[in-house]
Each structure stands twice: as C-alpha cells, then as structure tokens.
Amino acid sequence: MLKLSQSSYWQELQALALTHGETHLRDLFAEDAGRFQNYSLRVQNILFDYSKNCLTDEVMEALFGLAGDMDLQGAIERMYRGAKINTTEGRAVLHTALRNRSNAPVFVDEINVMEQINQELANMRQFVDKVRSGEWLGYSGKRITDVVNIGIGGSNLGPKMVTQALSAYADNNIRVHFISNVDGVEVAEVLRPLNPEQVLFVVASKTFTTSETMTNAQTARNWLMASAFDERAVKNHFVAVSTNVEAVAEFGIDTEHMFTMWDWVGGRYSIWSAIGLPIALYLGFDQFEDLLTGAHDMDRHFRDQPMASNAPVILALVGIWNSLLHGAQCQVILPYDQPLKSFTAYIQQADMESNGKHVDQTGNRVSYPTAPVVWGQLGIDGQHAFYQLLHQGNVIVPADFIGSVESSTPVRGHHENLMANFFAQTEALMNGIGAGQVREQLQAQGLDDKQIEDLLPHKVHEGNRPSNTLLLDRVDPRTLGALIALYEHKIFSQGVIWDICSFDQWGVELGKTLAQGILAEINGHSTNAHDSSTNGLIDYFKSQRS
Ligand code: F6P
C-alpha cells in the first residue's frame, strides 16, 4: 500500500486546493442548477447534502482516487472480517459484529464471535425484562425505579447521549441517571434525591480499573450500605459491564450479574455492547435492537456501496478536502434537535480519541493534519454564542448541521421556527453578503456616504464557509443508530486515508499514570519530584486546605 504522500491523487488534490483557493461557493451554485441533486444523497432516513462545500467533479474524482490508493475498500473488509487492525494493541475491531443483524459468522482467532454476542444479547434481554417488569427487586422487596450508570468516556457518553436522544420513546417505567465525574458534586447531586431501596447501579468499565469509576462505585456502595446495613444488598443493586471478571468479583458484585464485552470492542465504540444496558433498561430491549438495526443498515451501506454513493466515505473525504483547501483544523457539529444535545460530545470522543494521532502506522511523524478539533453544541444556542466567529471570524470552521423533518415532540410553531434558523444558517455561511448588497441596505436606511463606508467592512460577510447538512426524517432508534454508524465510519475512513491507527488511545495514559502518583502525594507526603510549577501548585493546594 502507498504512503499518503506517495499518492499522485494526494499531490493532485494539493494542486487543486491552490487552484480553488479563490473559488466561491456562490459561483459554483450559480454555474450548476443541479448542484444540490449532484452533491446530495439519501441513506437510511437521512438526507446528506454536501453541496455547500467547495467541491467540483474533478475534486471528487481525485478524492475517490486517493481513497483507492489508500486501499479504503480493503481496509473496510479487513475490519468487518475481524482482522487485527488495532495494530498497536494486536486487537480486532468489531463494533460492526455487535450489531450484525444478519448473523453471518465473524471470526476472531478462528472463533465465531457471533455466538458470544448473541448469548450476551440474550442475557441482556432477560435481565432488562426482569427489571422492567418488576420481577427484579431491591433488598427491601421494592421494584427498581432508577438506574444509575457509573462509567466514564465510552462507558458513559454513548448511553447518556442515546437515552437523552430517545426519551420520547421511553415509557417512564425506569428513570436513568449518569455519574462520570470523580468530582463528588456529581455523585452527591445524582444520589441525593434517590431512594437506595429502588436504585440499580450499572458499573460500566471495560477495564474495571478506571479510577474515576471505581471511586464513584465505592461511594455508591457506601451510600447503599448506609441504608441496607447488609452486604447481601449489593447483589440486588449492583451489576457490572466489564471484561475484568476478577476485579468485578473483588468489588463484591456477583459475577452472575456481570455482562461481558471483549477486547475487540473499543471503549468509544462500545455503545452496541452491554455498555448499552442503560439504554435497554430505559427504553426496553426491542428499542435497543432497533438502534442496532439502524447501525447495521449503515454498516451494509458502507461495505457495499461504491464510493461515489457511499455517505460515510464522502463525509470523510469532504473533511479531508476542507482541511487541505482551508487549512481547517476544526469541525463544528451543530444539532438543531434538542434530543441530540449530547451528540457533539459523543462524536468528539469518537473522533478525537480515534484520530488524534501524529504518527502513521509505521510510527513516522505525519506531515498533514489528522483529526480536527471537534466541538459544538445545540445549533440554536450556538447562534447566540459563537456563530459570530463562524460567519465573520478569521478562521474557517467546517460545520455539520443536523436537523429533523419531524420533531419528536411537536409543539405548535416551534419546529418551523427552529428549522427556519437551520436553513438560514447554512445559506448565510455559504452565500455571505457582499459589499454591493450591504451598501444598498444602508442607503435604504438613509445613511450618508461617510457612514456607509465606515460601516461597510464590518457588515460584509465573505461567505464561502463550508457546511454539510444531515436532515433526518426524525430522531428514532433506527435513524439514530444509522447516524452514529455514519460518523463512526467517517472516522474510520479518515484514519485509513491518513494511515494512522484509529483504535488505540495511548495519549490518555500518561496523565492517568501521573495522577496516581500525585494522589498519593495529596494524601501523604509531597515528593517535590515534579517541575517547579507542578510542585508549587500541589503544595499550594495542600497548604490552603482547611
Ligand atoms: O479515556 C480513555 C478511555 O480508555 C476511553 O477510551 C474509555 O472509553 C474510557 O477511558 C473508560 O474506560 P473503561 O471503560 O475501561 O473504564
């Protein structure tokens, strides 16, 4: 396989980026009445419009050529077939198998993992049905009303995002809560209003060693004991999701009440495994299966569709093009759908933890930007916060706008208002408003020539700011599953093209290790083993504590 810099398409794209430096999106739309039709496609209840990016057929051809040179199709096959593409950890990467509704066998080390997956799904269903039906009781004989997920990163963001996104589909049988932060404020806030007799804790940690999660789980256990005064209550109120049987048992959770996952499930791709248990408890298992089905539909699309009509591949290529053309190192994700309020945070981990790497697969420093800084929040709130910079700032930030044709909770007049803003923003970013038009507006307001010339540069919007629009039919389990998988495969495709290992996360380890040593210093003697700033800060913190 070629190195990226050896691909003639990569060189062609760099040349095209120079040629297109002056091209304005406005002109591309004026030249081609069919631009929207040509640069949009519909996949699994999602309309994907990428026409508001500075692309031409020539650019698209070169991007597809680049994906071919980097053997994207081969890499997709290797992932789906269970090859150990997480090269630095020697692991397969099989979140696609977790939602493989076709049940076609998938082998890792000659074992068909579909058997294990199906067994675990059956265990989950049985447990979920017991809890939701009231058959599973707390230590005092009362039914479970509240599920508290204790986990962080991939063991928190996905279940939290999805339960928020699909709350319109919940029957209020069970409430869900999330504790991720080791800041005691969170555990106190979540637990204070709850009745320990009716709470089920799901301790979710692939490794079962993550210190934030273990600290929170221990506090939750103490909280339960303060009410139950009986160790046996742990059995009724704690279940675990992990790969680490010994640690789960040592914590005191009955391993019969442990749901497993496997080393080929990455934390940030684990929502489809038993890490999704809070989703199933909240919505019922059938709805969880719909989420899996939606993702599986997208998996089939990604594997089978030719590149020119392959949504995740195009989304990835558009991102790569924008980083070349505009030097864009940011990507803002802007949901215009209240249920998707945590979607950006979820994709932020998936993207930045996967592709935030500076060396290629062979360990050489790369000469091109890799993962963008992914950020954002609900678009409508962002309009009144940071959109000024998106429209007139001195940096180009490619934007993904995500909205729905139907609101999951229709309230008269609201959705139309929301979506009017949604469409207006992508138009404004693309078109901008030129000096001529601004001048006319100011003249119509009766300003004199001097006033107009003074104001003009402040009011001109250059436009030409790229965006994608993803318009869902509605946020339902199946569509949400497809949307998440769309982004997962985008991230995968970019990692393949940038020739990086998207499935490790060594960059988060260093801080974790240092924190362990510093915790010992906070609780005991300072070692002064750090630089003067870190030593000084630790000493100051200790000396100021009452
Ligand atoms: O932040 C690093 C990380 O390893 C993530 O990849 C993972 O989602 C998170 O920590 C939680 O890990 P665990 O599930 O093992 O507690």
In this prediction, residue 305 carries a pLDDT of: 98
In this prediction, residue 348 carries a pLDDT of: 98
Q: How far is the CA of 89 from the centre of ligand 1 (A)?
A: 15
Report the nearest-CA residue for atom 13 of ligand 1: 205
Domain ranges of the chain: 13-325+476-504, 509-545
Report the nearest-CA residue for atom 14 of ligand 1: 205
**Range list of H helices, 104-146:** 113-133
Q: Rounded to an integer, what distance in angstroms lies between the CA atom of residue 269 and that of residue 96?
A: 9
Rg of the chain in Å (alpha carbons): 26
Where are the strands (E) in 263-354, listed by range? 330-336
Cβ of 213 closer than 6 Å to ligand 1, yes or no, is: yes
Give pairs for 207-210: CB < 8 Å, separation 24+: 207/242, 207/243, 207/244, 207/247, 208/240, 208/242, 208/243, 208/244, 208/247, 208/248, 208/251, 209/244, 209/247, 210/151, 210/152, 210/153, 210/155
The vertex-517 CA angle with 514 and 519, nearest 5°, equals 105
Report the nearest-CA residue for atom 3 of ligand 1: 153
Place of tokens 């949901």: 335
Q: What is the pTM of this model?
A: 0.97
In this prediction, residue 2 carries a pLDDT of: 83
Give kind and range of the element (H or E) at residue 201. strand 199-204
Q: How far is the CA of 299 from the centre of ligand 1 (A)?
A: 24
Q: Rounded to an integer, what distance in angstroms lies between the CA atom of residue 353 and that of residue 155?
A: 14
Q: How far is the CA of 496 from the centre of ligand 1 (A)?
A: 23
SS3 content of the chain, % helix, strand, coil (to 5): 55, 10, 30
Q: How far is the CA of 314 from the centre of ligand 1 (A)?
A: 29
Q: What is the DSSP letter of 195?
A: -
Q: Give counts: helices (H), strands (E), the chain.
A: 24, 13
Cβ of 159 closer than 6 Å to ligand 1, yes or no, is: no
In this prediction, residue 205 carries a pLDDT of: 97
| Residue numbers annotated as active site | 353, 384, 512
Q: Rounded to an integer, what distance in angstroms lies between the CA atom of residue 536 and that of residue 496?
A: 43
Say if residues 351 and 331 touch (Cβ distance below 8 Å). yes
In this prediction, residue 528 carries a pLDDT of: 87
Q: Locate 300 and state its tokens.
A: 């089939």
Cβ of 154 closer than 6 Å to ligand 1, yes or no, is: yes
Q: Rounded to an integer, what distance in angstroms lies between the CA atom of residue 294 and that of residue 283?
A: 16
Cβ of 206 closer than 6 Å to ligand 1, yes or no, is: yes
Q: Cα separations (Å) of 208 from 73, 100, 159, 273?
A: 35, 26, 17, 16
In this prediction, residue 96 carries a pLDDT of: 98
User: CB neighbours of 247 closer than 8 A, spacing ≥ 6?
Assistant: 207, 208, 209
111-112 and 238-242 strand pairing: unpaired
pLDDT tens for the chain, 546 residues long, are 788 999 999 999 999 999 998 899 999 999 999 999 999 999 999 999 999 999 999 999 999 999 999 999 999 999 999 999 999 999 999 999 999 999 999 999 999 999 999 999 999 999 999 999 999 999 999 999 999 999 999 999 999 999 999 999 999 899 999 999 999 999 999 999 999 999 999 999 999 999 999 999 999 999 999 999 999 999 999 999 999 999 999 999 999 999 999 999 999 999 999 999 999 999 999 999 999 999 999 999 999 999 999 999 999 999 999 999 999 999 999 999 999 999 999 999 999 999 999 999 999 999 999 999 999 999 999 999 999 999 999 999 999 999 999 999 999 999 999 999 999 999 999 999 999 999 999 999 999 999 999 999 999 999 999 999 999 999 999 999 999 999 999 999 999 999 999 999 999 999 999 999 999 999 998 888 999 999 999 999 999 997
In this prediction, residue 93 carries a pLDDT of: 98
Say if residues 380 and 418 touch (Cβ distance below 8 Å). yes
Q: Which CATH class is domain 13-325+476-504?
A: alpha beta
Report the nearest-CA residue for atom 16 of ligand 1: 205
Give kind and range of the element (H or E) at residue 280. helix 277-283
How many whole angstroms from its chain centre is CA 161?
Answer: 9
Q: Rounded to an integer, what distance in angstroms lies between the CA atom of residue 268 and that of residue 357?
A: 16
Q: How far is the CA of 17 from the centre of ligand 1 (A)?
A: 38
Q: Cα separations (Å) of 128 from 85, 136, 262, 263, 271?
A: 33, 9, 21, 24, 16
Q: How far is the CA of 133 from the centre of ligand 1 (A)?
A: 32
Report the nearest-CA residue for atom 10 of ligand 1: 153
Q: Cα separations (Å) of 298 from 31, 294, 480, 534?
A: 33, 7, 11, 47
Q: Rounded to an integer, what distance in angstroms lies between the CA atom of residue 435 and that of residue 441?
A: 10
Q: How far is the CA of 204 from the centre of ligand 1 (A)?
A: 10
Say if residues 101 and 293 touch (Cβ distance below 8 Å). yes
Q: Rounded to an integer, what distance in angstroms lies between the CA atom of residue 4 and that of residue 227?
A: 60
Cβ of 177 closer than 6 Å to ligand 1, yes or no, is: no
Cβ of 402 closer than 6 Å to ligand 1, yes or no, is: no
Q: How many CB atoms lie within 10 A of CB 284?
A: 20
Pocket test for ligand 1, best of 152, 268, 277, 502 (most atoms within 8 A of CB): 152
In this prediction, residue 527 carries a pLDDT of: 85
Neighbour order of strands in the sheet with 330-336: 40-43, 46-49, 467-472, 399-404, 330-336, 373-375
Cβ of 51 closer than 6 Å to ligand 1, yes or no, is: no
